[in-house]
Amino acid sequence: MYDMGTQDLSSRWHESQLGPVDAEIAKLASICGIRILDPGVIERVIAGDASLCSRATEQAFQKMRRLVAMHYALTNDSVQALGEEESARILAEIRERLRKRFELGGDLS
């Protein structure tokens, strides 16, 4: 079991890994005209369905697709190291910061 200092350091490390990847995904989604958090969109990106893009270059879409896969690998690592609750907290904070900069979709209202 981690002590509080080690847990906090580990949380910050995982956030420092996920944050930049998620920021780049949000930027590329914006370039492609995709609301990445709308229902079913991430699944279509993973499947390689570039038809959901309203504007895009193939290069931007493929980079976003690779980064989505990286996001899932990093999230899995975070869950293994920190647990589901702490990982969910980190991801929620990242999403909230990114929502202020990008139209991500997935609105809860």
Single out the residue of 96, 92, 46, 43 nearest to residue 67, CA to CA.
Answer: 46
pTM of the model: 0.83
Long-range contacts, 10-16 (Cβ 8 Å, 24+): 10/81, 10/82, 11/82, 11/86, 11/90, 14/74, 14/77, 14/78, 14/81, 14/82, 14/87, 14/90, 15/90, 15/93, 15/94
Give the containing element (helix H, strand E) for 24: helix 4-32
- The per-residue pLDDT for range 43-86, each reduced to its tens digit, is 999 999 999 998 868 899 999 999 999 999 999 999 999 999 99
d(CA 100, CA 109): 16
Mean pLDDT confidence for 17-35: 92
Single out the residue of 16, 38, 5, 32 nearest to residue 94, CA to CA.
Answer: 16
pLDDT the model gives residue 7: 65
pLDDT the model gives residue 1: 45
Confidence class for position 105, pLDDT limits 50, 70, 90: confident
What's the burial of 25, exposed, middle or buried (CB within 10 Å: 0-12/13-18/19+)? buried
pLDDT the model gives residue 12: 87
CA angle 75, 65, 11 (to 5 degrees): 20
